[in-house]
Structure 1
Amino acid sequence: MDLQLPPTLRQLRVACSQCNLMELCLPVGLSEEDVARIEALIGNRRKLKRHQALYEVRSPFQALYAIRAGSFKTTIVLEDGREQVTGFQMTGELLGLDGISTGQHVVSAIALEDSEVCVIEYTRLEALAREIQGLQAQFHKVLSREIVREQSVMMLLGTMRAEERLAAFLLNLAQRFAARGFSGTEFRLRMTREEIGSYLGLKLETVSRTLSHFQEEGLIEVQHKNIRLRDRERLRGLIQAPLSH
């Protein structure tokens, strides 16, 4: 129980309760001394305004970023100058993993709203992982989950119809919100419909038309950027059987 935890660990649990870094420390059975070292590692925070870049393509890789509040999109710029959205990240998720292999970022990370991140200097994280038993294994679990997520997106774009893509996207968002203690049926889209289309490989008109069709069918309720999932089971069913027109 939290009441029995040492003060340092109790504070860290509160600070990181919505953070992906919880998986890097709390389950490992750390001593107070190790917890204090990790607290020092993630103590630096950075605030960003809406549309501000956390880092840009080809900028030097120096740190990972745990989203403490807010949300982001990651993007690349295509040869014709168009922006391609490669992902959306929310509170409790990590940014910056794209830069580990090459030493520079291969995407840009842009705040979708006023946001705050915890800055984790990567060289210090690596050094600490060598010293704290179990920390490296937990970090590898985070990396593995990101690989699985990327594979899921590739399958989404390669095999699904427009209705299936959008249904899967909404259900995925709902699941991620619910996992962080928020409502899994009502949420606000921080990204634009154009950005959703870029991510899903759909035109803006297709996204708008499909959302309207979902609302007409009683699957969702849309009010500007606010979404309410009215029939999650039927939405799931769309991924196997397209909605009739």
Structure 2
Amino acid sequence: MSISELKIHCATCSVRELCLPVGLNSEEVAQIDVLVGARVRLRKGDALYRVGDPSAALYAVRLGSLKTTVLAEDGREQVAGYHMLGDIIGLDGIGSGHHGCQAQALEDTEVCVLPFERLEDLARDLPPLQHNLHQFLSREITRDHNIMLLLGSMRAEERLAVFLLNLSDRYRKRGYSSTEFVLRMTREEIGSYVGLKLETVSRLFSRFQEEGLIQVQGRAVKLLDLTALKRIIGQRG
């Protein structure tokens, strides 16, 4: 892991419209430029932070992707989140002052460091930023709620369909193809995230491919029939 003090300009950042500065004018964005004091570069497998580490900042994913994990009661690693460019992570440690999960790079990754106290101070002076921060917190709460629903009430095929459709939507919002992308998580990590065993995930990928819903080559996935995937989610009861 390396830390760079090179200046980061939100105004020219490719993921600005997915991050906290969305909707701010040039003068307001310039104030956030002052806030961002560093960027952290991670190699695949590097930890951005670990369970118990002091927490004083949020992190905006500028390049690459990360997974967040917690330890289950039986000691197994449980994937709690998948984060890509434009996402903001680190909220888990704000209340207690220490991180409750680990964030690990799934590929070469770069994040912008947003010191939380300075972010709060600036948000009080910039209502649009405060609004964006509140929206972000709301999205995080909604995401956690949706994951609970995913694990608690959906069948195996529904869980994988939701996972693929969610990725599709997130890539679309970032200007990438919504039907062709590379899975950065392994099958085992995907299973951990959606609450399925590795064997079940592998079987479902094969089944979806046989049914013409997707095309899989290694970690590269092509969604061939979005309507059919959405229909799976609707076939409940």
TM-score by length of 1: 0.89
User: Deviation string for 1:50-103 (max 9, x for gaps)?
Assistant: 011000111111110000000000001123321011110111101101111211
How far residue 20 of structure 1 moved from its aligned partner, in angstroms, is 3.4
Which moves more between the two structures, 124-133 or 88-97? 124-133
Q: Residue 118 of structure 1: SS of its match in structure 2? A: strand
Asked if 2 retains the 8 angstrom alpha-carbon contact of 1:20 and 1:94, the reply is no
Judged with a 3 Å threshold, the aligned counterparts in structure 2 of structure 1 residues 79 and 92 are, in CA distance, closer, same or farther, namely same
Between structure 1 and structure 2, the one with the greater Rg is: 1
| Consecutive aligned runs of 4 or more in structure 1 exceeding 6 Å deviation | none
How far residue 25 of structure 1 moved from its aligned partner, in angstroms, is 2.9
2:167 matched to which residue of 1? 173
Asked if 1 retains the 8 angstrom alpha-carbon contact of 2:15 and 2:85, the reply is no
2:55 matched to which residue of 1? 61
| Whole-angstrom distance in 2 between the partners of 1:69 and 1:200 | 24
User: Deviation string for 1:111-168 (max 9, x for gaps)?
Assistant: 0001000010111111111222332122001100111111111111111000000001
1:15 matched to which residue of 2? 13
Which moves more between the two structures, 126-135 or 154-163? 126-135
State whether structure 2 residue 118 is matched by structure 1 residue 124.
yes
The gaps in structure 1 that reach 5 residues or longer are 1-10
1:1-245 to structure 2, matched below 5 A, reads 12-18=10-16, 20-21=18-19, 24-28=20-24, 30=25, 32=27, 34-241=28-235
Query: Identity rate of aligned residues, in percent?
Result: 54
TM-score by length of 2: 0.92
Aligned residues: 228
| Whole-angstrom distance in 2 between the partners of 1:105 and 1:19 | 27
Letter in 1 for 2:50: E
2:6 matched to which residue of 1? none
The gaps in structure 2 that reach 5 residues or longer are 1-8
| Whole-angstrom distance in 2 between the partners of 1:107 and 1:131 | 31
Asked if 1 retains the 8 angstrom alpha-carbon contact of 2:10 and 2:21, the reply is no
Q: Residue 92 of structure 1: SS of its match in structure 2? A: coil
